[in-house]
Amino acid sequence: MKKLLILIFAMVFVSKVAYSQNEMGLKIGLSSYDLPKNSYTNSEDIKLSIESAEYGFQFGMFARIGLLGFYIQPEIDFNSNRVRYRIHDLDNLDTLNSIRTSTYRNIDIPVLFMVNPSIFRFYAGPVGHYLIDDVSDFTHRDKIKEILNNLKYGYQAGVGVSVKRITLDLRYESGFSKSIRTFEIDGKEYNLDDSKSRYIFSIWFKF
């Protein structure tokens, strides 16, 4: 699936060279995750729960090509977001109710479909998330190790308003299936349900 999304994106950019009526541009944006507050995992002595998610940011580029009365818009975006976790350790008062932060950096590849765009744009399509980097505050003393999944899938749907070469865009994103984050605690693996949705606000600049 990852290779297919990358191939579609590459083909559309190549077609831009061949068909001058198609469009390309850059985008920047902010995103906000809606995480389940009651999701947690625990071993005999340690409980780990999601505390909150901070606003993330993204930037990237898009192409738009007309095909049989509608448009395909693949994008490639760099996205960064941060999640705060709360640790309850009954054996270690130093980490009791302490907070740890993880920052995740992804390459997102949406492939959106829309009708003939005008001032208002409505679109929807699948999106792939490929993890390229993470930075975590978890330490050896926490007895917690995060096991990450490099590739996840979801969908996006949204609406945009265009004025000349600028488009303001608001999207809703969710996953195709339940999302599970795995942690190793004291040598044993535990799953934390981090099923999430997010809203993305972005600005496009068309070439």
Q: Where are the domains of the chain?
A: 2-206
- 171 close to 157: Cβ distance less than 8 angstroms: yes
Q: What pLDDT, on a 0 to 100 scale, did the predictor assign at position 126?
A: 95
Q: What pLDDT, on a 0 to 100 scale, did the predictor assign at position 117?
A: 67
Q: What pLDDT, on a 0 to 100 scale, did the predictor assign at position 98?
A: 81
Q: What pLDDT, on a 0 to 100 scale, did the predictor assign at position 17?
A: 43
**Considering only CA atoms, which of 64, 36, 79 is closest in space to residue 200?**
79
Q: Helix count (H) and strand count (E) of the chain? A: 1, 13
User: Does domain 2-206 correspond to CATH entry 2.40.160.20?
Assistant: yes
Phi then psi for residue 111, to 5 deg, are: -125, 100
Residue 73: partners with Cβ closer than 8 Å, 6 or more residues away: 62, 63, 64, 65, 110, 111, 112, 113, 114, 123, 125
Spans of the chain below 70 pLDDT: 1-21, 35-39, 90-97, 116-117, 176-180, 194-195
- 148 close to 114: Cβ distance less than 8 angstroms: no
Structure tokens at 84: 């705060």
**Considering only CA atoms, which of 145, 124, 121 is closest in space to residue 48?**
145
State pTM to two decimals. 0.78
Q: What pLDDT, on a 0 to 100 scale, did the predictor assign at position 30?
A: 92
Q: What pLDDT, on a 0 to 100 scale, did the predictor assign at position 77?
A: 94
pLDDT digits (tens, 9 = 90+) for 37-89: 666 777 777 788 888 878 889 999 999 888 777 888 999 999 998 888 888 77
